[in-house]
Amino acid sequence: MTSLPARSPALPEIGDRATVDIQPAKVFRPSVLLVTGAYYPEISAAGVQCRTVAGALRGRVRFGVLTTAVDDTLPAVETIDHVEVFRVPIDVQRRSSKLLASMRLVARLLRVIRSYDIVHLHGFSQKNVVVTAVARAAGRRIVFTLHTAGQDEPEVVRRKGVLAYWSFKSADLVTSVSPRLTSAYVAAGLAADQLRSVPNGIDVQRFRPVDDLRRVAIRRSNGLPVDPPIVLFVGFFSRDKRPDLLFRAWRRLKDQHGVDTTLVFVGATEPSYYEIDDSLLVELRSAIARAHDTDRVLFVPPTNAVEQYFQAADVFVLPSAREANPLALLEAMACGLPCVASRLEGATDVVIDDRVNGRLVPVDDEAALASALRDILQDRTGARLMAERARQTVTSRFDIERAAEGWLAAYLEVLKG
């Protein structure tokens, strides 16, 4: 990444040399409009990252947020944590709603665009086309962050049409959260000198380990059983996230290895959210009923207090077949939780060193996943050491302050250009 100062140079007032009054220096603050698919209180990885970075850069950058919202009861304009949030309601199941949302988004963008120096797009969706067009017409600089594997690769976007690919290539600067997305961008022949690596960051004060007494208290306050151990999944119910694979591995853990645990799924299961396959929940509930496991498998809706579930659990599992720089994995590791993840090149394998700070298993390998869970749950000393190293990995490489400095450097660079 290009090395830039964390703050722009102070710009002193030029006053009358004959006077004794010394005017305070003025510090330039970039103004940035973040464009996301969801924002607090709704949940998406990009939205969570935006809110956390905005908090870390408070006083140094003036942020606003333009976002879509599936909950039409949320206010159209709201200030959250000193950040003005502009919402456009959308029903992702209806094409007419998507068209109306695009029109409303453009109307809102035209009203606010001149209040910002930079438009920062998070991930690719069709709204990028109209946002890019308006930002370019208004002479605003554009930063684009690659967030999601399977959606933000150049070849995936190219298949969506000429205008989609034009908007994808139009950013003044591109940031990537993972080596996997970086490699795909460079392999497509796009300008590597416009690309910067800025991994996701975690608030390590919010996501932190707790002692055993606190863990028990958290379990009780959230209606979780005190015993047996808890195996945790956090994420959308999509096919790529593989919650069904985890259930099958969890069943094998009990049937073949004799390890009794509670399985907790935290995340959205309703099709009102993007990517969610509601048939997964139907299939999974049917399998749970057939196995007579209804008292051992719990479903928790999306929550903005997700740190409590990491702190309550004994092991976290990321069984995904597709990830970039998974926020849930970093959050779990920051909480000092031993983790098992699918080995994904340029994604999980750059975060976890197998058997050192976590476990990696082949994608879709049910038996390997069950065995890794058994090892962690039966070797408590080894699991504790693994969890301590996991926490160290996040505090040293993925602290939110590092991500915030990367975003600020990108803003200063595009404004300087």
Backbone φ and ψ for 61, nearest 5 degrees, come out as -135, 140
* DSSP H/E element including 232: strand 230-234
Same domain, 371 and 349: yes
Q: What amino acid is encoded at 3 in this protein?
A: S
Range of the domain at 339: 212-397
Contact, 181 vs 149, CB < 8 A? yes
Print burial letters for 219-252: b (CB count within 10 Å at least 16), e (below 16). Answer: beebebeeeebbbbbbbbbbbbbbbbbbbbbbbb
Q: Cis omega (within 30 of 0) on the bond before 228? A: yes
Residue 8 lies in a domain: no
240, 379: one domain: yes
User: Is 11 a domain residue?
Assistant: no
Residues 186 and 293 in one domain: no
Assigned domain for 13 exists: no
* Same structural domain, 80 and 120: yes
Let me know whether 191 and 228 are in one domain: no
Q: Is residue 111 part of a domain?
A: yes
* Number of C-beta neighbours around residue 51 at 10 A: 22
- Angstrom distance (rounded) from CA 346 to CA 356: 18
CA distances from 367 to 252, 261, 371 (A): 8, 17, 6
Please indicate, yes or no, whether residues 236 and 194 belong to a single structural domain of this protein: no
What CATH number did the domain enclosing 217 receive?
Answer: 3.40.50.2000
Task: Tell me: do 190 and 225 sit in the same domain.
Answer: no
Regarding whether 171 and 271 lie in a shared domain, the answer is no
pLDDT of residue 9: 33
What was the pLDDT predicted at 6? 38
Question: What pTM was estimated for this model as a whole?
Answer: 0.91
Confirm whether 22 is domain-assigned. no
Q: Are 278 and 271 in contact (CB under 8 A)?
A: yes
**Assigned domain for 298 exists:** yes
Which of helix, strand or coil describes residue 73? coil
**Terminal CA-CA length for the chain:** 15
Residue 249 in domain: yes
If one counts every other C-beta atom within 10 angstroms of the C-beta of residue 3, the result is 5
Q: What is the pLDDT of residue 91?
A: 85
Tell me, yes or no, whether 23 lies in a domain. no
DSSP state letters, 125-161: -THHHHHHHHHHHTT-EEEEEE--TTTSSHHHHHTT-
Q: Where do we find the tokens 């007419």?
A: 96
Say if residue 150 is in the same domain as residue 195: yes
Q: Are residues 169 and 216 in the same domain?
A: no
pLDDT along the chain (417 residues), means of 10: 35 35 64 97 96 97 96 96 96 81 93 97 94 97 97 96 96 97 96 96 98 97 96 95 97 95 92 74 93 94 96 98 97 98 98 98 98 97 97 98 98 93
Instruction: Tell me whether residue 349 is exposed, middle or buried, using C-beta atoms within 10 angstroms of its C-beta: 0 to 12, 13 to 18, 19 or more.
Output: middle
CA-CA distance, 143 to 176, in Å (whole number)? Answer: 11
> Are residue 231 and residue 276 in the same domain, yes or no?
yes
Q: Retrieve residue 178's tokens.
A: 């993972």
Same domain for 129 and 235, yes or no, is no
Number of domains in the chain: 2
